[in-house]
Structure formats: structure tokens, C-alpha cells
Chains A and B, each alone.
Chain A
Amino acid sequence: MSEKRRIKVALSGNPNSGKSTLFNALTGARQHIANYPGVTVEKKSGFITHRGYEIELVDLPGTYSLSAYSVEEQVARNFVIEEGPDIVVEVVDASNLERNLYLFVQFLELGCPLILALNMMDMAKARGIHIEVERLSQYLGVRVVPMTARAGEGIGELLDAIVQEAGKELRESYKQISYGRDVDNALAQMEALLKNAEKIPAKYPRRWLALKFLEGDSIVSELLKGDGEIFERIRAISAHLTAHTMDTLGEDPESVIVDQRYGFIASVVRHCVRREIENRLNLSDRIDRVLTNRLIGPIFMLFVLYALYLIIFWVSESPVSWFETAFGFLRQKAQEHIHTQILRSLVTSGVIDGVGAIMGYMPLIFFMFGAIAVLEDSGYMARIAYMMDRLMRFFGLHGSSVIALIVSGGISGGCAVPGILATRTLKDNRERLATALVTPFMNCGGKLPVYAIIIAVFFPESRARILFFLTLFSWFVALFSARLLRGVLLRGPKSPFIMELPPYRLPTLRGLLIHSWERTWLYMKRAGTLILAFSILFWAGLSFPTLSDSERMRFENLRKAEIEKIQPQLGDSEPYPQKVDRQIKEALSKIDEEEAASALKASFLGRIGVWLEGVTVHLGFDYKLNLALISGAFAKEMIVSTLGTAYSMEVQSVKAYSIEDRLKADPKWNPAFAFLVLIFITTYIPCIPTVLTIASELSYRWALLSVLFNLSFTVLFCMLLKKGMELFGLL
């Protein structure tokens, strides 16, 4: 051992076994996050030095088993087989030993060097569960380290054990659990055959392959097909066994094997664990009697979600404004120091405004992740899924989909980007896709200021009612779209809802911070890089082609004329009186605005806006509104400001300046039309950060579909709505 100073350790365990807490306690902030190759399963690793050894710790996904059914389980077992870690540390919840040992047993079957980390000893003690550690170690054939990772107890002992046990082979007798005579016989025959199967890579333990084949493991089955002759003989043994067990036990070998594993565990537990109190209702059970009560449960849940959402926005308010100030300062500096006009425009409008708009989300996203982490770590998230599942299932979604929809703006105000990231908690891929694809319908924080202005102008009497209606409308569209998606594109069985309600626990601050930070960082890395590119592209689309020289001359002449008109009143006496100065400034800024507006219309995106009138004429939208909606695709907040710029074209005819007055003065905008526009804005398109998030979380195909689906649905729906309004003489 002495020459080998590096140890590779895999950390495994059930969800809720305290594995993450242990990982954080061991590695602290020195963590590296990536994905396992080819899949979107997060891979966390970290380095620790202990007694002169450099220990590389890899956190395997939290699983209940090592079957071929889920990606996480495949990842976990592939890691052990392919990478051959020097030791696997299996973390178990000591207060729930029986169920937790099920995964441990499957590592025994793989035959890798093992340590059992008996975590949450404090909880076990509190529940009157006594575990004979030495005896447990004898029965299982591995080192057992009792610990309480939350309190930092037993960490040093675990590290010592890792250093001592690394690379030590398991004793042969412990690798072979008995699954009853029939299965054991079949296993022995298959193992003997497989020992001669040279075409199948040696890294796969033979008995394990045989066992998995009997369990109907599709991946192992494919692997064994690599040796056709042996595969046929193995299949015959398996078929024979199946016939036999079905005949005598009424169960297939797969079930028999699982039952026997639990049988083995039961006998170990019987010998090593003593309970003081049998089946007492523990604290967590008693809390659940209240919090999942038929009446109190839903009310409390609404209260929690609403409070959480208020807190997120309240807490992130100051950091968001700090970011705004910082970017405002940067913008000002750039204005002052960059003298080439086009470069200045690129840096200020393209880079700083674009990146600033996204960075503004950062604190929000951080706290949103924090809130999700609180819900997850406390165990309440599982209760929300449990209570909402029946309702969500009607729409082809999962109980946990609610969280993502609320984060995206379900109570109005929120953001689809963290919403889509929150769908990671959904295990079934189709349910996850359906949930993620409908999150952009929710009323995010970006749509709110747009609603606010339009509602204030056209529905001053019933602001709250309209906003409430739009919230209901967004839920309605989201849920029924989900139903449609699940019925057509994402057809498939509802995933099983077998889920654990973990005991309530107080989250640790350290866990929360690490959790939120690593997710925020991952988001920044993924979306951030593309956002810069898109914001420059968008800036270019609005800035090029520039106005022709003759057009620019025309505005220059207008400016000169304006100054000449005002100047004669003062003669040559400088400085100008303040009043005149203001007059000139006003007149000039009016012309500036007109120039900006015609530049906008002449730009590439402006031309698209005009061109789109071909379609949007059926909705009654002109190019100004089109342009505003296009800019809304970048960030919904921009709809109002772009509309303002576009309207300055008609500044001559309208004395007023504010966008509210301009809308009021436009004869086309009546309450019915405003309502149509509000509906359109609610659902028409996911913003670019959202599209990028869908692309990086799911795929570009789905991102494209999301845009097309939302657009076509909204255009059709609004056309119908307009026809209806016309029928009733409202438009």
C-alpha cells in the first residue's frame, strides 16, 4: 500500500441517506461538478488529503437499486465496473437500516471493496434503535463506521477506514448471498459458462452477470448476446428456472431474487439491531398528520408557496438593484470613454445591456434555488408532490411539476429559467419534457411590467381582476397544453409514483449554500456564454443596416433648422438663457427620437416587423407592435420600451410623450384590442434565455418546438378571439 498514495473512492447511498451532507462535510467547498459522460446526470467529485494519501471522492447518484431501469442506476454501476474505484463507501440511514441495506447488498454482489458508513446514528438513537456495530460488521463482512455527518461525528474515523480498507478484496464467502437452492444452482451453471466467454469483457464479474440476466436486466442481456452460443445456453437455463419458480412459488426469478435479498437483510437486522419501542409514531409522522391533513394540508401548502415566493422577491430585490447600479455605472463609463459611435453602441446596447439584463436574474435565480433547496432538504417538497399528484396527473404531469410551474410564475412573477431547472426533480423523461415545455406560459416577472402599463391605460377600474384573469389563463393554457403534449408527442405511461416521504429535517445552512451556489454556477456557465452571443446578435439586428446618408442628412438639416428657428431670438449673446437652452434641447431630442425610430424601422429586425404585418394584419397588429413583440423575445420587459421607440415615429401628430398617452391616442387601441394584446403577450413565445435553457437542459429540437408551438397556438387562438370580438362588435 505504501507506494500508492492516491485512492479513488465512490460514495453511494439512497436518496435521503445523508450522502450529500457527508460529501459536503468531507470535501467542503472544494468540489468539482460535471456531468457523467453522455448523460445529464450530475457528477460531483472532490479531493481530500488524509494521512499522506490523496483521496479522490466521487459522489454517485443517489439510488435505491442498481438495476437497468433508470439512468442514475446505470451510471452508478457503470462507474464501479468501468472505473474500478479502490473502495465504495455505502452511506446508509441507521434509523432506516433495512431498506437502506438493499442497495448495499447489490454492491456486495458486484464484489467491489466496500465500507458501510452508518449515518444518522443520532436519529436512530432518538428512535430507540440500537445497532451492534461490531456484529453488523461480522455479518456483512465489511468495515462499519458509525457516524452522524450533520454534526461532523465520525468523519475522521471514516477517512481512516478508507485509507486502511482501500483496495482490499471482499472475502469470497460474503459475495455470495443465497437466493434459494434453485436460483443458486442456475447461477452456478451460468457462472461456469460465462467463465469461458472470452468475448465478454473480463471487467464484468461473472456471477453478477448471471444474476442480472436472471433479473431480466436489458443491458446485461444485450452484452451477453455478444457471445451467441453461450447466450443461447444461458437463456435456456434461465427459461428453465423461470418455469420452475413460476410453478412452485408463483413468482418469476426476478421477484424471488429481490425477496431473498430482503430475506438476507432481515436476518442480519434480526441479529444486530434491537428496538426499544416497537412502531411508535415518530415526530415526523406526527407532523405529517397535520401538514398532509385533508383540510389543513392544502391551505398550509398554499401559504408556504406564497410566502416562499414573497421572500425570494423580497430578498433578491436589493442584490438585483446592486447589479442594475453596477451595470448602469459600467454603461456610463463606456459612454464616456468610447468615442467611436458604432463601438459605443455595441458595448452599451449590445454587451452591457444584454448581459446586464441576464445578470439581473442572477440573485433571483440564486435565491430561487435556495428556496427549492429548503423545500427539498426539509422533506416538504415530497409532501407537495404527494398532495398535488392527483390533480396534476389529470393533465399528464407529476405531483412535482407544480413546483416548476410556480417557480416559473404560477402566482405571477417568477422566471421560467429556474422553473425549467426545477424540472430536474422529475425522474420520468416525458413528464419532465411536458412540464418544462409549458413553463414559459406562466406569468413571469418580465411580463408583469408590460401588463401593468397596458392594464393601467385601458382597464384602470379593474386592474386586479385582469391580472388575476391572466394568471388563471396562463395556468389554463399550461395545463391543457401539457395534456395535449402528453396525448400526442409525449405519449407514454404515467410513471410510477412510488416515492419516499423522507423524515422532516432542518436543512443545514452549509448544505443550502452549496446547493444553491452550485446550481446557479452551472446555469451561468451553460446559459451565460450563449446569452452574450445572442445579445450582440439582437443588437446588430436592431442597428443594421443603418440609415442611408441622405436620411441622416435630412435629420441633420432638421436639427439645424430647429436651432436656427430658436437662436435668432437671442442674438449672439452667450451663454443662452436657461429657458431657451431647454427649448433647444427638447426640440433636438424630439428629432433624435424620430431619427432613432426611422433607424429602427429601417433595421433588419424592423424590416422583419414590417414584413410580418402580412400575417399579423389578421390580428390587427402593425409593425410597431410586431417590433415590440420581437424585442420581447429577448426579454419580455423590452416590449414596452421598444413600443415607445417605435411610436416616436408619429410624434409630430401626437403632442404627448409617454407610452401610455401614445397608446391612448392611437384609435386602434381600445380595451378589446388591449385585451387581445395582453392575451397574446401571455403565451406567444418563450424569451431567449428560456429557449437557451430548454436547449441546454433538454435539446435544441425541443427548444425549437417550444417556440413554434407557443407561436402557432397563440396566433391561432388570438385570431379566433379577434373574430369573436368582431362578431360582438367589440373591435
Chain B
Amino acid sequence: MGNLISMRQMKVHQRGVVKKINASGEMGRRLREMGIVPGVVITIQGRAPLKDPVAIKVRDTVLTLRNNEADYILVETE
């Protein structure tokens, strides 16, 4: 059992499993539609030059989201 942290706190190249998405409405839906659902494995690909947004790999897609959007996503890391 790893520890549960928000996606913002993850380091570059770190992997984890999405446990919970604390957003509803448009934000929650957009996150889910792009494949960020509980149980999915994500890897932090990198961060933009100003540390925000963050690029993550989900399934076979690279997605970008802002740190304040990453806050909604709780991840279990190894």
C-alpha cells in the first residue's frame, strides 16, 4: 500500500494509480473523458518551463493539465 498524494506533488517520471477525482461538473467530466478515471496508471512526463502545466502519460496519450487541475486528482504512488 503506497501513500495517497495529489498529482501536483508527484515528481517528474514518477508513476502512480489514480484513486479518486475530487471534481464534478465540467472539470470532472473533462478529466474523466480524457481517460483519467480511478484505477488508471499515470506517469509524470515532465513540467513546463515555468513548472506549470504538467504533462502526464495516461494509457497511450500524453495529456497536459495545470497544477490547480492536478490538485483534484488523488494518486497512489509506489
CB pair B48 A389 closer than 8 Å: yes
Q: What's the minimum C-beta distance from B76 to chain A, rounded to whole angstroms?
A: 16
Q: Does A102 contact B (CB under 8 A)?
A: yes
Per the 8 Å Cβ criterion, residues 20-56 of B in contact with A are 20-21, 24, 26-35, 37-38, 40, 43, 45-53, 55
Q: Does A310 contact B (CB under 8 A)?
A: no
Q: Does B63 contact A (CB under 8 A)?
A: yes
CB pair B21 A255 closer than 8 Å: yes
Residues of chain B within 8 A (CB-CB) of A98 are: 35, 59-60
Chain B: interface secondary structure?
A: mixed
CB pair B53 A258 closer than 8 Å: no
CB pair B46 A99 closer than 8 Å: no
Q: Which of A292, A382, A390, A496 contacts B52 (CB 8 A)?
A: A390
Cα A386 to Cα B55 with chains together (Å): 8
Q: Does A555 contact B (CB under 8 A)?
A: no
CB pair B35 A288 closer than 8 Å: no
CB pair B28 A294 closer than 8 Å: no
Cα A644 to Cα B34 with chains together (Å): 59
Cα A53 to Cα B29 with chains together (Å): 40
Q: Does B3 contact A (CB under 8 A)?
A: no
Cα A567 to Cα B37 with chains together (Å): 95
CB pair A297 B49 closer than 8 Å: yes
CB pair B33 A390 closer than 8 Å: no
User: Do A497 and B64 form a contact, CB below 8 Å, given A258-B33, A390-B51?
Assistant: yes
Interface segment, A61-69, A327-335, A358-366, A700-708?
A: A61-69
CB pair B60 A67 closer than 8 Å: no
CB pair B34 A285 closer than 8 Å: no
CB pair B48 A96 closer than 8 Å: no
Number of A interface residues in the complex (CB < 8 A): 45
User: Do A390 and B29 form a contact, CB below 8 Å, given A98-B35, A497-B64, A500-B62?
Assistant: no
Residues of chain B within 8 A (CB-CB) of A499 are: 63-65
Q: What's the minimum C-beta distance from B52 to chain A, rounded to whole angstroms?
A: 5
CB pair A500 B29 closer than 8 Å: no
CB pair A498 B60 closer than 8 Å: no
Q: What's the minimum C-beta distance from B26 to chain A, rounded to whole angstroms?
A: 6
Cα A102 to Cα B60 with chains together (Å): 13
CB pair A288 B61 closer than 8 Å: no
User: Do A96 and B21 form a contact, CB below 8 Å, given A258-B32, A497-B66, A500-B34?
Assistant: no
Q: Does A298 contact B (CB under 8 A)?
A: yes
Q: What's the minimum C-beta distance from B47 to chain A, rounded to whole angstroms?
A: 8
Q: Mark A92-103, 1 if CB is under 8 A from B, else 0.
A: 000111110010
Find the residue from B21, B53, B57 having the highest chain A CB count within 10 A: B53
Q: Which of B38, B47, B48, B65 contacts A498 (CB 8 A)?
A: B65
Residues of chain A within 8 A (CB-CB) of B26 are: 69, 496
Q: Does B71 contact A (CB under 8 A)?
A: no
CB pair A496 B35 closer than 8 Å: no
Q: What's the minimum C-beta distance from B22 to chain A, rounded to whole angstroms?
A: 10
Q: Which of A67, A294, A498 contacts B49 (CB 8 A)?
A: A294
User: Do A498 and B37 form a contact, CB below 8 Å, given A99-B59, A288-B62, A298-B49?
Assistant: no
CB pair A96 B29 closer than 8 Å: no
Q: Which of A255, A295, A500 contacts B61 (CB 8 A)?
A: A500
CB pair A500 B63 closer than 8 Å: yes
Q: What's the minimum C-beta distance from A25 to chain B, rounded to whole angstroms?
A: 23
Q: Does A304 contact B (CB under 8 A)?
A: no
Cα A393 to Cα B65 with chains together (Å): 13
CB pair A288 B50 closer than 8 Å: no
Residues of chain B within 8 A (CB-CB) of A97 are: 60
Instruction: Considering the complex, give the chain A residue whose CB is closest to the CB of B38.
Output: A259
Residues of chain A within 8 A (CB-CB) of B59 are: 96, 98-99
Q: Which of B28, B33, B45, B53 contacts A288 (CB 8 A)?
A: B45
Instruction: Considering the complex, give the chain B residue whose CB is closest to the CB of A257.
Output: B32
CB pair A387 B29 closer than 8 Å: no
CB pair A389 B66 closer than 8 Å: yes
Residues of chain B within 8 A (CB-CB) of A258 are: 29, 32-33, 37
Find the residue from A258, A285, A498 having the highest chain B CB count within 10 A: A498
Q: What's the minimum C-beta distance from B6 to chain A, rounded to whole angstroms?
A: 16
Q: What's the minimum C-beta distance from A299 to chain B, rounded to whole angstroms?
A: 10
Q: Which of A254, A284, A285, A496 contacts B65 (CB 8 A)?
A: A496
Q: Does A669 contact B (CB under 8 A)?
A: no
Residues of chain B within 8 A (CB-CB) of A723 are: none
Q: Mark A379-403, 1 if CB is under 8 A from B, else 0.
A: 0001000110111010000010000
CB pair A497 B24 closer than 8 Å: no
CB pair A386 B53 closer than 8 Å: yes
CB pair B55 A288 closer than 8 Å: yes
Q: Mark B62-78, 1 if CB is under 8 A from A, else 0.
A: 11111001000000000
Cα A582 to Cα B53 with chains together (Å): 70
User: Do A292 and B46 form a contact, CB below 8 Å, given A255-B32, A262-B37, A498-B34?
Assistant: yes
Q: What's the minimum C-beta distance from A93 to chain B, rounded to whole angstroms?
A: 8
CB pair A255 B33 closer than 8 Å: no
Instruction: Considering the complex, give the chain A residue whose CB is closest to the CB of B28.
Output: A255
Instruction: Considering the complex, give the chain B residue whose CB is closest to the CB of A299.
Output: B49
Per the 8 Å Cβ criterion, residues 399-425 of A in contact with B are 399
Per the 8 Å Cβ criterion, residues 542-596 of A in contact with B are none
Q: Does A195 contact B (CB under 8 A)?
A: no
Q: What's the minimum C-beta distance from A493 to chain B, rounded to whole angstroms?
A: 9
Residues of chain A within 8 A (CB-CB) of B29 are: 65, 67, 69, 254, 258
User: Do A285 and B62 form a contact, CB below 8 Å, given A64-B34, A67-B33?
Assistant: yes
User: Do A64 and B33 form a contact, CB below 8 Å, given A294-B49, A498-B65?
Assistant: yes
Cα A498 to Cα B66 with chains together (Å): 8
Q: Mark A49-81, 1 if CB is under 8 A from B, else 0.
A: 000000000000000110101000000000000
Can you report 12 A-B residue pairs in the complex whose CB atoms are below 8 A from each other?
A65-B33, A98-B35, A99-B58, A252-B24, A262-B40, A292-B46, A386-B64, A390-B50, A390-B51, A499-B64, A499-B65, A501-B62
What 17 new A-B contacts, CB under 8 Å, besides A399-B53, A496-B30?
A65-B29, A99-B59, A255-B28, A258-B32, A262-B37, A294-B47, A295-B49, A298-B49, A386-B55, A389-B64, A393-B66, A496-B26, A496-B27, A497-B53, A497-B64, A497-B69, A498-B65
The 3 closest A-B pairs by CB, nearest first: A390-B50, A501-B62, A258-B32
